[in-house]
Amino acid sequence: MTPRKTCPGWAIAAAATLALLSARAGFAQNGAFNSNEPGLRARDQAVLDQARAAIEADRKRPRIAGIWRATAPATTIKTVDGKLPPMTAAAQKLYRERVTDRKAGNSHDPLDQCLPPGTPRSLWSGEPILITQAPAKVTLFHQYRHLIRHVFLEGPPKLAEPDPIWEGHSSGWWDGDTLRIQTLGFNGEQWLDAAGLPQSPDMKVDESLRLLDANTLEDTVTVADARYYKEPWSTRVTFKRLPDDTFMPEQECSEKLLEFPLKPYAPSDGGTGHGSR
Amino acid sequence: MRQPRWCIATAVALWALFSSAAFAQDSASAAPPRGSLGITTGDPARRDVRIPDSVPNISGSWVARSSNRTIMPLDGGPSPFLPWAATYFDERAAAEKAGTPFFDTNASCLPSGVPRVLAVPYPIDIVQTPTLTVISIEVMHSFRVIHMDDKPPPADYTPSYLGYSRGHWEGDTLVVTTTGLNAYTQVDEEGRPKSSSMTVTERIRKVAPDFLENTFTLDDPNTYSRPWTARSRYQWAPDYHLAEYICEENNRNKPDATGKLRHGQGGDYAERKRAATKAKAP
């Protein structure tokens, strides 16, 4: 059969379809998808309208934004009355073991393995904490082991079954001039202090942050954990404002777990130009 | 069935036309709107309200649309290695192939450092304050502080994984210059090396309402024969909250004193805990 010398309509159609498909794929690869979606502008406008009220409200709030440091760094926690928290029998047993182990030089404090302290233990580090404040989110950036806590201002946590994690899930809201933060969903592994106050996965931490004056921030922390504490108990930490341009150097806890010193790669840095195996 | 040549040519031309139309559309959207009017410039509720509207808004959560295995020159050419760097790169590839990989800071839960973190496949969160731009990176809970006031590093500054970053806006582009990097990290996972002399210059801008692009240039005369440029991209993810990432929970590939990796041994918190529980059992 002699090939026809015309281009059949179906071939053109197929080519056009293929071309359109690859154009869309090109879009996706090129990272510009959605940019011309009709709903985008409407969505933007809705988000913006919603944000306007939050922005205006935030302008009137106290500014807790800045760099802060605990005035009295501590490794052990006492209640606001200066007492040991009201431990249950199970907690007391764990606590005694941990105190004995540490005395014997055999502590299993997760902090020693560079695991994150979580709230409230991180608050007492005594190292600078950069707090950023936006209408929908407050973030705490710690110099201490570069810990980060993003607190979305979405009201109390709504998680029915939170994924258990070291630092818990924080959610907050403004109650007048007080920033309330609730945190839950801890994995129950961390200690609340170096002595060994325990936590269980049921622990809930409720914080109230308020400015006592422009340069003094107070965080009243209430811990509720029925498995280990007879009743909720409160403790308090006070922060002083540091200059806004305070430099926060990087702090890598895991360097201390290395069994050999880090080696430079480049000859210009004194390295061999070869890697270690 | 065979078709005449012109038919195939028409098909190819059609394909090229439509594809290039898509690219043209992409570049047409490359000039994003200015100021905070429009969510297309960032999340207005996630940055400090003291920042004037004239400063472009890139605050909010972004998910990476790039991968970090390789950071390649954007021009498609080979990495302009100096001889030592080319040797190192080949040795590393051979060692990995042989199942005896070289040490990498990640193996000990230490950061990948700049520039490697610029192209990791993990989400980021950007917070703008009047004097800082803080970029949180989900992997290993890192955060980069970019000083927007052009303040130099303190006199006692020690070179670090993420370095010391200074930034300023050039129109809609955030230009970040990073120096003060330490000597212990590489450019990428594949093993392009670097020295502590590297200067990284990032140009970060919105290229579409939902897309942030970071075009970064690496200048390291002790490792590369010329500066070279690479790129990463992020898509806006307003509902995404960065997840907890704790490498130390499973710090099990720690190298021994000779630098050899011990897969699945040592330093593992979970293993220690199991051992302790076992020891205490009656």
Give residue-wise pLDDT tens across range B122-169.
999 999 999 999 999 999 999 999 999 988 999 999 999 999 999 999
State the pLDDT confidence band at A244, using cuts at 50, 70 and 90.
very high
Query: pTM above the 0.80 mark?
Result: yes
The full DSSP string for chain B is ----HHHHHHHHHHHHHHHHHHHHHHHHTTSPPPTTSSGGG--GGGS-TTS-TTS----EEEEE-S-SS----TTS----B-HHHHHHHHHHHHHHHTT-PPP-GGGGT----TTGGGG-SS-EEEEE-SSEEEEEETGGGEEEEEETT-PPPPTT---BSS-EEEEEEETTEEEEEEE-B-SS--SSTT-----TT-EEEEEEEEEETTEEEEEEEEE-TTTBSS-EEEEEEEEE-TT--PPP--GGGG----B-TTS-B-TT-SS-HHHHHHHHHHHH--
Give the per-residue pLDDT at B253.
56
Q: Is B236 inside a domain boundary?
A: yes
Confidence (pLDDT) at A102: 92
Between B85 and B264, the more confident residue is B85
pLDDT band at A212 (very low <50, low <70, confident <90, very high): very high
Residue A34 has pLDDT above 80, yes or no: no
In a domain, B230, yes or no: yes
Taking the C-alpha atoms of residue B195 and residue B82, their distance in angstroms, rounded to an integer, is 12
CATH number of the domain enclosing B43: 2.40.128.20
pLDDT at B78: 93
What does the pLDDT look like over A64-96, one tens digit per residue? Answer: 999 999 999 999 999 999 999 999 999 999 999
| Mean pLDDT (whole number) for A149-171 | 91
Let me know if residue B6 belongs to a domain: no
Q: So what's the pLDDT on residue A218?
A: 98
* pLDDT range class, residue A209, cuts 50, 70, 90: very high
**CB-based contact, B31 to chain A, within 8 Å:** no
The pLDDT assigned to A3 comes to 42
Angle between helices B5-28 and A9-29 (to 10 degrees): 30
d(CA B140, CA A150): 15
3-state secondary structure chain A: CCCCCCCCHHHHHHHHHHHHHHHHHHHHHCCCCCCCCCHHHHHHHHHHHHHHHHHHHHHCCCCCCEEEEECCCCCCCCCCCCCCCCECHHHHHHHHHHHHHHHCCCCCCHHHHCCCCCCCHHHHCCCCEEEEEECCEEEEEECHHHCEEEEECCCCCCCCCCCCECCCEEEEEEECCEEEEEEECECCCCCCCCCCCCCCCCCEEEEEEEEEECCEEEEEEEEECCCCECCCEEEEEEEEEECCCCCCCCCCHHHHHCCCCCCCCCHHHCCCCCCCC
Token pair for B96:
């990995």
**Nearest chain A residue (CA) to B50:** A59
Segments forming the whole domain that contains residue B192: 11-280
Contact yes or no for A277 and B259 at CB 8 A:
yes
Distance from C-alpha of A14 to C-alpha of A18, rounded to nearest angstrom: 6
| A92-103 pLDDT per residue, tens | 999 999 999 999
The predicted pLDDT at position A68 comes to 98
What pLDDT band is residue B80 in, cutting at 50, 70 and 90?
very high
8 Å CB contact of B254 and A257: yes
Output the pLDDT for position A123.
94
Say which residues have a Cβ less than 8 Å from residue B272's Cβ, sequence separation at least 6: A108, A113
- Considering A122-126, B178-182, B188-192, the range whose residues carry the highest mean pLDDT is B178-182
What Cα–Cα distance (Å) separates residue A176 from each residue in A1, A58, A211, B38? Answer: 87, 11, 12, 29
| Contacts of A82 by beta carbon, 8 Å cutoff, 6+ apart | none
What mean pLDDT comes out for the span A197-224? Answer: 97
Percent of chain B predicted with pLDDT > 70? 73
Q: Do B131 and A245 touch (CB under 8 A)?
A: yes
Asked if residue B4 belongs to a domain, the reply is no
In this prediction, residue B28 carries a pLDDT of 35
pLDDT at residue B223 tops 70: yes
> What are the residue boundaries of the structural domains of chain A, listed by start?
9-59, 66-243
Please indicate whether, in this complex, the C-beta atoms of A7 and B211 are within 8 angstroms of each other. no
Looking only at the bridges linking them, the beta strands covering B164-170 and B142-147 are parallel
pLDDT above 70 coverage of chain A, percent: 83
Give me the residues of A, 9-48, that contact B with CB < 8 A. Answer: 11-12, 14-16, 18-20, 22-24, 26-27, 30-32, 34-36, 40, 43-45, 47-48
The two tokens of residue B9 are: 């040519």
Q: CB contact, 8 Å: A277 with chain B?
A: yes
Residue B36: its pLDDT value, please? 33
Q: Is A2 on the interface with B (CB under 8 A)?
A: no
Higher-confidence position of B155 and A32: B155
pLDDT band at B6 (very low <50, low <70, confident <90, very high): low
- Tell me: pLDDT of B35 over 70: no
Q: What is the ipTM of this complex?
A: 0.84
Q: What length is written for chain B? A: 282
Residue B56: per-residue pLDDT: 86
The per-residue pLDDT for range B232-281, each reduced to its tens digit, is: 999 988 888 999 998 888 665 555 555 555 554 444 555 666 565 566 55
Domain formed by A66-243, architecture: Beta Barrel (2.40)
Indicate the pLDDT class of residue A11, thresholds 50, 70 and 90.
low
Report, as an integer, the average pLDDT of B4-29: 44
Measured distance CA(A28)–CA(B196) in Å, rounded: 37
Domain count, chain B: 1
